[in-house]
Amino acid sequence: MTTRTLPHDDYINAVCDALTAAGLEPADSWTSDAETRGIYCYLNAVLTLDPDTSGLNAERWPNGLILTWEWHTGIEDGEPERGAVWEWAELRDNHGGNEEPQPLTAESYASPEYVVESVRALIEHRNQSSPAARWDRADELHAAVEAWGTDEGAES
């Protein structure tokens, strides 16, 4: 993890604020560029939701779940194409691990409200009812992460 400001910090903060306003306050969240030292540059964020803090049904989600957002500069075997992706995974009770991540219906630069709707649809086992909406600052975020990727790639 890093203590410097990262291009996706404002976006992830907006998503956390929207989740909190919807009664799904993250138990923990962080952003990182820790996996940047490989072939490709990565930005990621992890948000943890649990029954105690986030109001999840403890019978269905006894250990909670995580939401991840990731943006990267290239394609590795088994990875999605360049860009941003939202995923979720159920947490296991053994040593903080999680099940295999699955795509969240919210994509790339989804609006924070749409991320909330995606999480609600997931935890309530229903289809998404609202149309996809992009974050109003998506173009700004996209430009910032692309510039970051170019700068980080030049440093490698």
> pLDDT tier at 137 (50, 70, 90 boundaries)?
very high
Cα–Cα distance between 45 and 15 in angstroms, integer?
11
Each domain of the chain, given as residue ranges in start order, spans 9-155
Query: Apex CA 138: angle with CA 132 and CA 142, to 5°?
Result: 125
Burial class (CB in 10 A: 0-12, 13-18, 19+), 156: exposed
- Of 11-15, 19-23, 96-100, the least confident: 96-100
pLDDT for 122: 93
pLDDT for 2: 46
Tokens encoding 25:
């306050």
**pLDDT tens digits for 57-68?**
999 999 999 999
Query: 145 vs 55, 61, 127, CA distance in Å?
Result: 32, 33, 31
Predicted confidence (pLDDT) at residue 89 exceeds the cutoff of 90: yes
Contact residues for 83 (Cβ-Cβ < 8 A; gap 6+): 71, 72, 108
Helix residue ranges per DSSP H, the chain:
9-21, 51-54, 112-123, 138-155
pLDDT for 146: 87
**pLDDT tens digits for 20-75?**
999 999 999 999 887 655 566 788 999 999 999 998 999 999 999 999 998 877 66
Q: Is 7 left (phi over 0), alpha (psi -120 to 50) or beta?
A: alpha
Cα–Cα distance between 93 and 114 in angstroms, integer?
29
**CA 148 distance to own-chain centroid:** 18
